[in-house]
Amino acid sequence: MAVAENRERRDTPNPERPLRWPEVVQGGIAGLAIVLLVAVALIAYHGGGMAASQDAALPNVIIIIVADALRVDRLSCYGYTTNRTPHIDTLARDGVRYRHAHAPSSWTKPSVATILTSLYPSTHRAICFDDILPDEVLTLPEILSAYDYHTVGFVNNINLFPDLNFQQGYGKYYVLGADESSQNIGERKYYQEAELVNRHVLPWLENEHAKPGDTRFFMYIHYMDPHRPYFEHPYNGNVAGYNEPGDDPAPAEAPALSALYDGEVSYLDTHLGDVLAALKRLGLYDEALIVFTADHGEEFYEHQGWFHGKTLYEEVTAVPLIVKYPGNVRAGTVDEGLARSLDIAPTILDVSGIEPPAAMRGVSLRLPPDSPARAQLVFAEVFCMAGAMSVRTPRYKLIEVIDGDLRGRTPTQLYDLEIDPGETTNLAATRPDIVARLRADMGRTLNLAERAAVGGQKADLDAAFKERLRQLGY
């Protein structure tokens, strides 16, 4: 295990600046009107005056938990019946479950960079294997550090290691290398399983948070379960899904791989329960702000392909998102509006009473689903293992394949998710009007992202680092 110490950043927000509500729009009477509408909606939605909605006590504990490659449709709180996830279900009962949450890409690096910055991948530029998270972007832990939060990260995916500059803003950054894992096979080094990750997380909670002045903290935990390869639990050496890149399983293997994946989800749920139990035992849970989500999902041959990073279908872009607010405000409710990984950082800052930077593109998910400031569409992109963009509304989804569909599909794909949630019937040829409208939305969003783009930075990755990536399927 390695621990990275972070450097100060000169352009972090000024904690002495008066706190304001996030700017929803700029300019003129129309902008003021929308701001007033949003304020009124917030008052109604939170059942009281503005002061009550902000809560008297700002959160001392903020935790983001990311489960790598976790499909939303494999959690029982989202309706899955084949498998049970009781601890995640409990978190959902104590918080708000966002039914329609989506990642900005279909693999880890661009998606986590968006969670931490509230920038589109085309803006933060961490979009391919040797891209780093640029120094120029401002991350959520950097902002919280400026407001006296102790910041700590536990990362278990090589795409987030300091080699790629993801340690920005963390006072301590624990790099959980695969060498300690019991799940490696021969010379292959995959990742540390959740139980081993907790051997670092739980002692930190028990020991570090109790130090005088250290109770105000932000924690990021990245679990690799259920990312491939898929292990049987209790671990017995049975593993699948570790194929070499380009050497995909046969279609007939989908049920067996899916069952192993479900077992990984149950395993993760068990060890996530240990973290939640520790927070409760330490008296931190009730007033904590806890965000549980995934960076992307996983394919099991629904669209004649496997794993992730190559397409933008719902099985890889739809993600779970559960937010347990301080005091369990709105406990057990379901938000039916569109939600994005892009919105996570602004939501955390909103709850913490901190004005988000103007560069952030997301909005607070404390706004009601029908607020004019909430997302009306979701944009996603992937430009590394494949090239594609997508945009979806509550009903329709348009996918544009940029570099030629690796699976021989039509480059322009339109789906009516209301009647075809599995994206099986391409309506592009019969609904050119909807294609044109969504294509215009896609163009505007991409233009917005690219106009704000920072200068990309590359890492000089050594052979060992590249081999670790290859063993994870990249």
| pLDDT for the residue numbered 320 | 97
CB neighbours of residue 395 within 10 Å: 11
Q: Is 267 a domain residue?
A: yes
Task: Give the rounded distance of the alpha carbon of 113 from its chain centre.
Answer: 9
Q: Is 223 a domain residue?
A: yes
Which structural domain range is residue 162 located in? 2-14+50-376
My answer on whether 348 and 277 are in the same domain is yes
My answer on whether 412 and 307 are in the same domain is no
Question: Does the pLDDT value for residue 305 go beyond 60?
Answer: yes
Question: Does the pLDDT value for residue 44 go beyond 70?
Answer: no
Query: Where residue 404 falls among pLDDT bands split at 50, 70, 90?
Result: low
Closest CA to 298 of 286, 285, 314, 274: 314
Q: Report the distance separating Cα 121 and Cα 108, nearest Å.
A: 11
Q: Whole-number mean pLDDT of the chain?
A: 83
Query: Where residue 49 falls among pLDDT bands split at 50, 70, 90?
Result: very low
Q: Which of 120-129, 246-255, 266-275, 454-463 has the highest mean pLDDT?
A: 266-275
My answer on whether 125 and 206 are in the same domain is yes
Domain end among 376, 403, 428 = 376
Domain end among 326, 347, 376 = 376
Better-predicted residue by pLDDT, 307 or 188: 307
Question: Does the pLDDT value for residue 375 go beyond 50?
Answer: yes
High-pLDDT (> 90) share of the chain, % = 58
Q: Report the distance separating Cα 157 and Cα 328, nearest Å.
A: 30
29-33, 159-163, 398-402, 404-408 — which is least confidently predicted?
Answer: 29-33
My answer on whether 371 and 385 are in the same domain is no
Cis-peptide, bond into residue 372, ω within 30° of zero? no
Query: Where residue 3 falls among pLDDT bands split at 50, 70, 90?
Result: low
Question: Does the pLDDT value for residue 387 go beyond 80?
Answer: yes
High-pLDDT (> 70) share of the chain, % = 79
Query: For the segment 318-337, what is each residue's pLDDT rounded down to a tens digit?
Result: 999 999 999 999 999 999 99
pLDDT (average), residues 354-380: 95
Give CA angle at 458 (453, 461), nearest 5°. Answer: 155
Query: Where residue 73 falls among pLDDT bands split at 50, 70, 90?
Result: very high
| pLDDT for the residue numbered 216 | 87
Which domain CATH number covers 128? 3.40.720.10
Q: Is 208 a domain residue?
A: yes
How many structural domains comprise the chain?
Answer: 2
Query: For the segment 424-456, what is each residue's pLDDT rounded down to a tens digit?
Result: 999 999 999 999 999 999 999 999 999 999 988
What are residue 306's DSSP bridge partners? 300
Q: Is 91 a domain residue?
A: yes
| pLDDT for the residue numbered 179 | 61
pLDDT (average), residues 273-293: 96
pLDDT (average), residues 4-30: 40
| pLDDT for the residue numbered 244 | 57
Give the SS3 label for residue 270.
Answer: helix
Domain end among 376, 406, 437 = 376
| pLDDT for the residue numbered 239 | 72
My answer on whether 71 and 181 are in the same domain is yes
| pLDDT for the residue numbered 304 | 73
Question: Does the pLDDT value for residue 121 go beyond 80?
Answer: yes
My answer on whether 340 and 385 are in the same domain is no
My answer on whether 275 and 389 are in the same domain is no
Query: For the segment 150-189, what is each residue's pLDDT rounded down to a tens digit?
Result: 999 999 888 777 888 989 999 999 988 756 655 555 445 5
Better-predicted residue by pLDDT, 223 or 186: 223
Q: Is 368 a domain residue?
A: yes
Segments of 317-411 assigned E as strands: 318-319, 321-324, 333-340, 378-383, 387-392, 396-401
Query: Where residue 38 falls among pLDDT bands split at 50, 70, 90?
Result: very low
Question: Does the pLDDT value for residue 192 go beyond 90?
Answer: no
Query: For the segment 262-276, what is each residue's pLDDT rounded down to a tens digit?
Result: 999 999 999 999 999
My answer on whether 372 and 386 are in the same domain is no
My answer on whether 320 and 401 are in the same domain is no
pLDDT (average), residues 306-317: 85
pLDDT (average), residues 49-78: 78
My answer on whether 229 and 325 are in the same domain is yes
pLDDT (average), residues 400-416: 82
Q: Is 278 a domain residue?
A: yes
My answer on whether 164 and 288 are in the same domain is yes
pLDDT (average), residues 66-90: 95
| pLDDT for the residue numbered 207 | 86
Question: Does the pLDDT value for residue 99 go beyond 50?
Answer: yes
| pLDDT for the residue numbered 22 | 30
My answer on whether 161 and 221 are in the same domain is yes
Which domain CATH number covers 439? 3.30.1120.10
pLDDT (average), residues 277-284: 94
Q: What are phi and psi of 379, to 5 degrees?
A: -110, 135
Q: Is 438 a domain residue?
A: yes
Query: Where residue 243 falls among pLDDT bands split at 50, 70, 90?
Result: low
The b-or-e profile of 355-369 (16+ CB within 10 A means b, else e) is bbbeebbbbbbbbbb
Q: Is 120 a domain residue?
A: yes
Query: Where residue 235 falls among pLDDT bands split at 50, 70, 90?
Result: confident
Closest CA to 12 of 113, 146, 140: 146
Better-predicted residue by pLDDT, 45 or 257: 257
